[in-house]
Structure 1
Amino acid sequence: MSVETTITTERIEQRITAFVTGRVKTEVPPEQDLFATGLVSSMFAMELVVQLEQDFAVQILGNDLKRDNFRSIEAMTALVSRLRDTEPSADA
């Protein structure tokens, strides 16, 4: 899948929501704690890492692999937005 060069935070959230909703087969509000509600297991959390890396062309390493970054759709959206802002551009 090709990654859009510029993507809004809203679009990032929509794409993450679509993926999570598709996997858990229920609507998930962006602020809902996925671990506390039991919607996400540690195995699914690893799938989320891979999905976010592939879908948004980012690398999630080191301190970014904290559970808090995957606790909610909001948290994942913030993580991807931050990583995309700090990724070196192809023109650099």
Structure 2
Amino acid sequence: MEEIRNQTRAFLSNYIKSQPLKDNDDIFAIGDVNSLFAMQLVMFIEKEFGIEIDNDDLDLNNFRSIQAIATLIASKRAAVSQ
């Protein structure tokens, strides 16, 4: 899970430059991102972690923080391995 958080933090740091991100910071509340960023984030997650984000997963709460993203990725991986 730490590797997922680190990779996600590295990606986000390209877009959010106003402050270093902590695991539970709300990346949308910070204000450095827009709707195009949300699509780039989904594409990054799918490519980097080899998972598919379904329509059911497109809840903003799944992408609000590094921890939320890591939890989503871990749960998608667990579902695939079952």
TM-score, structure 1 as length reference? 0.80
Structure number with the higher helix fraction is 2
| Count of residue correspondences | 81
Shift of 1:36: 1.2
Displaced runs of 4 or more, over 4 A: none
RMSD of aligned Cα (Å) = 1.4
Q: Which residue of structure 1 aligns with residue 4 of structure 2?
A: 12
- Specify the SS of the correspondent of 1:31: coil
Structure 2: gaps spanning 5 or more residues: none
Higher Cα Rg: structure 1 or 2? 1
Kindly provide the CA deviation profile for residues 34-64 of structure 1, in whole angstroms up to 9, marking residues without a partner as x. 1111132111011000000000000001210
Match of residue 77 from structure 2: 84
Q: What are structure 1's unaligned runs of at least 5 residues?
A: 1-8
TM-score between the two structures when normalised by the length of structure 2: 0.89
